[in-house]
Amino acid sequence: MGKIFLFLAFASVISFVTADLSCYKCQSKDGDRTCIDTLPENVCPAAKMCVTKMKDGKVERGCLEEVTCEPGECQYCDFDKCNSKVTTTPALKCHKCEDCPAELPGAAICSQGAPIDGKEKCFTKTGKDGDKTINSRGCYYDLDVQGRTDCDNNKDCNTCDTDSCNKNSTPESTQAPPVPTKEPSNDEFECIVCRSDKIDQKACADVIKDDQFKRKCELTPLVKEDKACYIQRLENNVVIRDCITTARALNYSIDKEHCKDDIQNVKCNFCESQLCNTMAPRNSGAGLKVFASLIAFTAIVAKYF
């Protein structure tokens, strides 16, 4: 009886460590928002990672083995049905007020993200209440569908897409561009972007010695905290290098705190300068999981033998 129990316990450990995933599987089509706003029941089994691909206004979801990606086109995740995001993670900061006072409230992060194929926006709307002019401000996607439709059809409702851009009566994005300065623009921030399980990106698992994987960050950094790169080693030993804005869009727990030099956390590297993620990746978090499982296994053996 003890040997049977021991065998079952060992099998459960192996199953826990090597379990496969299911991923949502679909493709959007012209005029059809399925796979963008809503997800079908279709799944693909036995995947090691799930993928969401965005290209030319279309979205494709599926398993890593079935979706072909070029650098910058795809987002990856490694837990069951994780490729389910239909909106971006709210990150844009807008001023929010009805009948706004002369001294505006501080800008705050929006409550709702944009559709996964879209971009977050702030709005400024001007209206009349009798003889009084009313100005209102807020986040475009915090409005309900009717509110967004009214804004789209109202010449006195303007939108913009940078932090605090709706602080003026006319959004900054509709004004003449400022005189260029010598400071580098935000959209010039670059990181090493690659995946070691791609045929032409095997070198991603090693120290990067040239700029073959250098890429401009897809999600334009807007503040100092966004200007960072990371390295993540997944449990299947695949190494990913990318921009921190990509990790935040996918709700990954990758930041300075989670990736600090601590033996308790060996899943990621975090750095805060251009092209800084060239170093050797840290060890896989799978080692900790297997180690914990073996400790439990040893405890079972000690108890029954």
Convert the pLDDT of each residue in 108-147 to its tens digit: 999 888 887 788 999 998 888 788 888 899 999 988 888 8
pLDDT confidence of residue 305: 54
pLDDT of residue 182: 36
Residue 180 inside a domain? The answer is no
Distance CA 291, CA 283 (A): 13
Is the residue at 220 inside a domain? yes
The DSSP output letter for 210 is S
Mean pLDDT computed over 46-66: 83
Q: Is residue 13 part of a domain?
A: no
The reply to whether 7 falls in a domain is no
Residue 73 placed within a domain: yes
**Residues in the chain, how many?**
305
Of the residues 153, 174, 195, the one at which a domain ends: 174
Residue with tokens 């929010």: 96
Q: Quick check: 193 and 203 in contact, CB under 8 A? A: no
Select from 60, 85, 110 the last residue of a domain. 85
Q: Alpha-carbon distance 183 to 92, whole Å? A: 22
Residues 195 and 303 in one domain: yes
Q: Which residue has the higher pLDDT, 169 or 93?
A: 93
Identify whether 4 is part of a domain: no
Amino acid at 160: C
How many domains are there within the chain?
3
Task: For residue 71, give its domain range.
Answer: 20-85
Domain membership of residue 2 (yes or no) is: no
Last residue of a domain, one of 36, 52, 85: 85
Rounded-to-integer distance, Cα 156 and Cα 125, Å: 6
Query: For residue 300, what pLDDT is reported?
Result: 52
Q: Output the CA–CA distances (angstroms, integers) from residue 40 to 46, 83, 150, in the order listed.
A: 18, 12, 30
Which residue has tokens 């989670």? 258
Q: pLDDT band for position 217 (50/70/90)?
A: confident
Phi and psi at residue 251, to the nearest 5°: 60, 30
Residue 292 placed within a domain: yes
* Whether residues 228 and 278 fall in one domain: yes
